[in-house]
Structure 1
Amino acid sequence: MSAPHATPTLPPARVTAVLRILVLSTFVVLLNETIMVNAIPRLMREFEVGAAAAGWLSTAFMLTMAVVIPVTGWFLQRVTTRTAFGLAMTLFLAGTALAAAAPVFPVLLAARVVQACGTAVMMPLLMTTLMTLVPPHDRGRVMGNVTLVISVAPALGPAVSGVLLELGTWRLLFLAMLPIAGAMALFGRRHLVDVGEPQAGPLDWLSVPLAAVGFGALVYGLSGLGAEQAAQAPVPPAVTTLAGGVLVGLFAWRQLALQRSSAPLLDLRTLTYRHFSVALGLLCLSFMALMGAFILLPIYLQEVSGLTSLQTGLLLIPGGLTMGMLGPQVGKAYDRLGAPRLVVPGALLTAVCLALFALTGEGTSPWLVLALHVALSAGMAFVFTPVFTSGLSVLPPHLYPHGSAVLGSLQQVAAAAGTALAIGVMTGRTATAAAGGADATGALATGVRWGFGVGAVIGGLTVLIALLVRTPPQQPAEPKDGDGTTLDKDTAAPAH
């Protein structure tokens, strides 16, 4: 088993500076993830591509994240913090510059892939560094501040893009990013310090294609299950999903085999910690419900309620801001109260909001939708910050990179699954209602209600799993068996 990272002893001011650099850089790369939402129609006209092709600007980003994140657990243990940061920001800057100058659509698509590679490295790097530098008693507060950034950046993306598109060409979306990201890269390289010592170790070349093709096919297949063109696809999404699932299973089998003799690409010993496994299950179900709701809400607001895309974007911004602004307060409460007292009410509020969304119809006031969306976002804030913190806190330091990579990888799968399930249920029930004589708007409203109903069921499951959440001990125990293999499967601690 790999030796643990050496935990550095830095003065509090230096720790704050390091985390601030990483958090602000993460804000920049995450803002880019949703900044293109409003530009899709303009890009379709300029490059003369259809909606399906333009949609690949988002799909390719998500697929790249799913492919790259599983490798980051191995990567972050074998390079310095400064090297990982430099690579992430270099990739992001290169992709942004290429996108700004893209003469044709395939170049723009390739640029999005390069951007996503940088983003995929930055998120696990931030989480790993935070868990290494911040003492257990203060992690909730710091993670709350990180949650603010992670939540607010995507929420502001559509609004920022709307302003920039009013000012001029879509290329401004990338040109505006370049000086900000460049300044963060230079500042970070100058002031960032290395956290822990890199560990030499072999790279299992069989694991890399298994992870890349497996997670990529799984996310791609799930994303296409609910699409209208699924039946016309050269390879049915169900087949792609099944093939991806098989390859991910082979990847997991390969990692278990490598754990006995050498360093795996993704250390699955993280799953032997009960707290981490419970947190992982809760986060995956929460992401399924959340992404399903987020894909249904714009459809409902524009196609059923008749709002414009700008009105829809403005209406959804308060929810993202609510989740972000609550993050620091929830983090401070976690340090005082522990996880269960926050996660259970948060999961319950989320499930109730999803159930109420399932009762909406053509005559529902947009103001009620706004209130429900803000309440849903508040519920998620009470879930995400404590669960992220408690889930990673139970791991020993040398497993932080792998824990972050496991969380990131399965979040991508859960997001794709939640989207596919919501769209698939909505499409099927809409067709059934239309066949029963409902008009187009009424049929779609019925489909959306059913989609939210499925989300409410998933929300109910999150409440049940939330009851299993416990606040972990500040120093995780790691019992070994005779040959040094980790045996700890339940570092149970009483709830606060």
Structure 2
Amino acid sequence: MFSETALNIALHRLMIEFDVSAATVQWLTTSYLLVLATLIPISGLLIKRFKTKKIFITALFFSITGLVLAAFSPNFIVLLLGRIIQACGTGLATPILFNTILVIFPPHRRGVAMGMVSLVMMFAPATGPAVSGFIMEYLSWHWVFLLPIPFLLFSLCLGMVYLIDLSIENKPAIDYVSIVLSTLGFSGIVMGFSLAGETQSILPVLLALFIGGGSLILFGRRQLTLDEPILNIRVFKHPMFMMGIGLTILSNFIIFSSNLLLPMYIQGGLGLTSADAGLLLLPGGIINGIMALVTGHLFDKFGPRLVVIPGFVLGVISVLFFSQLSAATHGLMIMIFYTSLMVGMSMITTPSQTNGLNQLERSNYPDGTAIVNTTIQTSGAIGTAIAVSILNRSQNAFLERGTNTGNADVQIEALVYGIQHAYTFAVITAIIGLICSLFIKRVPVSRLTLKKFS
């Protein structure tokens, strides 16, 4: 999970080294999330068909291979390929984490357990830019990929020895048509939003969105007719599960776009170093990890409303500040409001997801976790793509109506102008989330089975 955002701090340097634009370099982030969004929907099928340890070992193999390839890449294409292979590993490993929690822990204890999951899934990505900032300052971007390899090798050894099988013996049929439709659907949607920031023509954008949206509709209809669907979308009949998915989408729009925009702003807009950018974002990452455990306890005790609603209030306040950034904004203010944003987002994700998953029966856990993880990665990819699209279009519009566009100060003004507009999208997203959160209700876990896995 560290690798999802660790590269963000290096994007500015990679643009210069490989001579690529912001719209091109962001594919190192978007492609990573895109692969996850296309692979995770079938993770429910994989969990049912294969043993937990086998999936885990395969996942680690992909992750390590992708990191090695990216670390020694001679050009941008090879670097992008390494990121894609690495994403295959993450796409296989992440659903195992969620499924393990749902199988082992009863509903009345899942808040704390899911808090630990959020500690991994939010703390690691949040600290990624901080750690990579020091790497970029004192080493090189290659070490962003080299650093995780020893930890993954250690994890691989531990998993081979200690990981137990949590899967239910089942060999569902593989519907290849559904897999193709799922891949076309999620990749088409993300591709459409990504192209919006790269091309002046609206035709390829609409074509990609049409193919993606149409494929997802066909995918959903097909799942309802299959005896053994790839993804059981009937779980959406549970209102709080749908609410949890919706709030997750909105919060991830904000999280992933911020983790891309702020490093660009700190380095390109304020002219600070990679290490400075890492230091400014570090407190938010640390407190985000702490809050993941705290919010889990609060959810178990008070339910989702008293946690999620204040989280969106903090989110609205924070992104409002970022929508008013300028080239003279003090770094301390960025650190304070980024920390506030991370606290708010951690108060949203864990409670809303846990509350929704509590409505599902054990037989639906693989499907529920697949949908949650697909939502996380797809919304992250879409949110990042939308933010970069708005950034690029606003930046270009600023330069087109100005003079002396080659001047460094004008370039900085254009970047800041684009980031302001990108955060206006985040403000709208946060306000919508705040309104939706007013309708969240706690799932009565006393009606659910509390039998612990043994």
Tell me the TM-score range normalised by the shorter chain: 0.7 to 0.9
Corresponding residue of 1:469: 440
Structure 1: give runs of 5+ residues left out of the alignment.
1-29, 479-496
Determine whether 1:74 maps to 2:45: yes
SS at match of 2:367: helix
SS at match of 2:164: coil
Corresponding residue of 1:194: 165
By how many angstroms is 1:206 displaced? 0.4
Residue correspondence of structure 1 range 309-320 to structure 2 within 5 A: 309-320=274-285
Corresponding residue of 2:326: 361
Determine whether 1:308 maps to 2:258: no
What per-residue deviation string (whole Å, max 9, x for no partner) do you get for residues 351-381 of structure 1? 1222233333343322112211111111111
By how many angstroms is 1:328 displaced? 0.8
Q: Give distance in 2, aligned partners of 1:371 and 1:104.
A: 37
**Paired residues of 1:65 and 1:119 also in contact (CA < 8 A):** yes
**Paired residues of 2:178 and 2:230 also in contact (CA < 8 A):** yes
Residue correspondence of structure 1 range 40-439 to structure 2 within 5 A: 40=11, 50-51=20-21, 54-102=25-73, 105-165=76-136, 168=139, 170-225=141-196, 227=197, 229-231=198-200, 236-258=204-226, 262-430=227-395
By how many angstroms is 1:205 displaced? 1.0
Q: Which moved more, 1:35-44 or 1:347-356?
A: 35-44
**Paired residues of 1:151 and 1:321 also in contact (CA < 8 A):** no
Q: Give distance in 1, aligned partners of 2:88 and 2:161.
A: 22
Task: Indicate the structure (1 or 2) with the bigger Cα radius of gyration.
Answer: 1
SS at match of 2:35: helix
In 2 relative to 1, CA 271–460 (structure 1 residues): closer, same or farther, beyond 3 Å?
same
Q: Give distance in 2, aligned partners of 1:360 and 1:93.
A: 38
By how many angstroms is 1:41 displaced? 6.2
Q: Give distance in 1, aligned partners of 2:390 and 2:81.
A: 32
What one-letter code is carried by the residue in structure 2 that aligns with 1:329?
Answer: V
By how many angstroms is 1:288 displaced? 1.7
In 2 relative to 1, CA 165–284 (structure 1 residues): closer, same or farther, beyond 3 Å?
closer
What one-letter code is carried by the residue in structure 1 that aligns with 2:319?
Answer: L
Greater relative contact order (Cα < 8 A, sep 6+) = 2
Residue correspondence of structure 1 range 430-469 to structure 2 within 5 A: 430=395, 441-442=412-413, 444-469=415-440
Q: Give distance in 1, aligned partners of 2:133 and 2:121.
A: 20
Q: Give distance in 2, aligned partners of 1:421 and 1:224.
A: 10
**Paired residues of 2:190 and 2:385 also in contact (CA < 8 A):** no
Q: Give distance in 2, aligned partners of 1:419 and 1:247.
A: 22
Q: Give distance in 2, aligned partners of 1:420 and 1:56.
A: 9
SS at match of 1:35: helix
SS at match of 2:257: helix
In 2 relative to 1, CA 414–40 (structure 1 residues): closer, same or farther, beyond 3 Å?
closer
What one-letter code is carried by the residue in structure 1 that aligns with 2:309?
Answer: V
By how many angstroms is 1:429 displaced? 4.5
Q: Give distance in 1, aligned partners of 2:2 and 2:113.
A: 20
> What percent identity do the matched residue pairs reach?
32
In 2 relative to 1, CA 418–125 (structure 1 residues): closer, same or farther, beyond 3 Å?
same
SS at match of 2:170: coil
By how many angstroms is 1:147 displaced? 1.3
In 2 relative to 1, CA 90–426 (structure 1 residues): closer, same or farther, beyond 3 Å?
closer
TM-score normalised according to structure 1 size = 0.81
Q: Which moved more, 1:425-434 or 1:337-346?
A: 425-434
By how many angstroms is 1:232 displaced? 7.0
By how many angstroms is 1:179 displaced? 2.6
In 2 relative to 1, CA 165–307 (structure 1 residues): closer, same or farther, beyond 3 Å?
closer
SS at match of 2:432: helix
By how many angstroms is 1:42 displaced? 6.2
By how many angstroms is 1:155 displaced? 2.5
By how many angstroms is 1:242 displaced? 2.3
By how many angstroms is 1:294 displaced? 3.4
In 2 relative to 1, CA 98–454 (structure 1 residues): closer, same or farther, beyond 3 Å?
closer
By how many angstroms is 1:409 displaced? 1.8
By how many angstroms is 1:340 displaced? 0.9
By how many angstroms is 1:45 displaced? 7.2
SS at match of 2:445: coil
SS at match of 1:468: coil
What per-residue deviation string (whole Å, max 9, x for no partner) do you get for residues 377-424 of structure 1? 111111111112111111111111111111222333322332343344
**Paired residues of 1:343 and 1:383 also in contact (CA < 8 A):** yes
By how many angstroms is 1:290 displaced? 2.8
Q: Give distance in 1, aligned partners of 2:416 and 2:67.
A: 39
Q: Give distance in 1, aligned partners of 2:247 and 2:166.
A: 29
By how many angstroms is 1:220 displaced? 1.8
Q: Give distance in 1, aligned partners of 2:33 and 2:170.
A: 29
Structure 2: give runs of 5+ residues left out of the alignment.
404-409, 450-454
Q: Give distance in 2, aligned partners of 1:422 and 1:107.
A: 25
By how many angstroms is 1:244 displaced? 1.2
In 2 relative to 1, CA 312–178 (structure 1 residues): closer, same or farther, beyond 3 Å?
closer
Corresponding residue of 2:406: none
| RMSD (CA atoms) | 2.8
In 2 relative to 1, CA 49–475 (structure 1 residues): closer, same or farther, beyond 3 Å?
farther
In 2 relative to 1, CA 425–160 (structure 1 residues): closer, same or farther, beyond 3 Å?
closer
By how many angstroms is 1:241 displaced? 2.1
TM-score normalised according to structure 2 size = 0.88
SS at match of 1:198: coil
**Paired residues of 2:185 and 2:212 also in contact (CA < 8 A):** yes
By how many angstroms is 1:477 displaced? 6.1
By how many angstroms is 1:162 displaced? 4.1
SS at match of 2:200: helix
What one-letter code is carried by the residue in structure 1 that aligns with 2:351?
Answer: P
**Paired residues of 1:219 and 1:412 also in contact (CA < 8 A):** no
In 2 relative to 1, CA 376–158 (structure 1 residues): closer, same or farther, beyond 3 Å?
closer
What per-residue deviation string (whole Å, max 9, x for no partner) do you get for residues 308-352 of structure 1? 333223212221222111111111111111111111111122112
